[in-house]
Structure 1
């Protein structure tokens, strides 16, 4: 299946593996839940970001922290929600969120283990089961307005917060 592109509708039945962050202790794990992104994104402007893996060098140093640091700028551009996915399970993604001091429901970290979204609708990294490094913006009506994939998954350019912010200002 070809990757989703601007102008496409976000597909139905996209489910991620989510462990909500209820405390900041990375050693205390909550219960995993299904997160139906297709229904949860309805009437929200969402940024969906895919990374090869939680705690990996580029993801930790250059990809996730700028989204956290610049969420207020995204919000000013109408973004309601940022969801970061990786091939890790929900527990690992929750621990990664706790280590990065994520709180609330504006930035959610989830495992792409339920629907294999990255492989079926986005881009994989070409590194076995790992997700690719990409970003897309889903508008409130479900239309994708931005979608781009890193040609080199070790780099953060078109999938980084600066590229997404630039796309929102058009």
Structure 2
């Protein structure tokens, strides 16, 4: 499992379509950001709590020198694209698809849900130039607390 101080694995992910494939390193090369793991687009916890907590604090993140918030989920890029449209997200919040869970498995955040299949654990990472500065993993998949923006801000 990935830990603080480690470099992110250089796995391919997608944004918006299957044609828009790139490596996770491209997102964080010489950049500072928050990397979030979501159980999936349109899931109640992610839709009502996780994502909105970062939308509400986006200006504060910019003031602290963060380039963007990247949300990774085990979904196809068409689903993440539709979810992005629902929220009309600014360009510095990016919804990234990991349809085969290659990135999610590489960082050890994959979790099998009996009803949903393979998904990501809920987590938040503070990333600086592809290196994990802080890692917060939710202990219970039914609740989100330590990976919400309010918690992450205590480490900035």
Q: With the length of structure 1 as denominator, give the TM-score of the two structures.
A: 0.83
1:68 — aligned with what?
Answer: 55
SS at match of 1:130: strand
Structure 1, unmatched stretches of 5+, are 20-29
1:49 aligns with 2:47: no
2:75 — aligned with what?
Answer: 88
CA contact (8 A) 1:14 1:115 kept: no
Aligned partners of 2:22, 2:145: CA distance in 1, in Å? 28
The structure in which a higher percent of residues are strand is: 2
Q: 1:144 aligns with which of 122, 126, 132?
A: 132
1:27 — aligned with what?
Answer: none
Aligned partners of 1:158, 1:113: CA distance in 2, in Å? 25
Give the paired residue count. 153
The root-mean-square deviation of aligned C-alpha atoms, in Å, is 1.6
CA contact (8 A) 1:134 1:150 kept: yes
Q: With the length of structure 2 as denominator, give the TM-score of the two structures.
A: 0.90
Taking structure 1 as reference, are residues 107 and 101 closer, same or farther at Cα in structure 2, changes over 3 Å only?
same
Q: 1:124 aligns with which of 110, 118, 124?
A: 110
Structure 2, unmatched stretches of 5+, are none
Structure 1 ranges of 4+ moved more than 4 A: none
SS at match of 2:110: coil
1:24 — aligned with what?
Answer: none
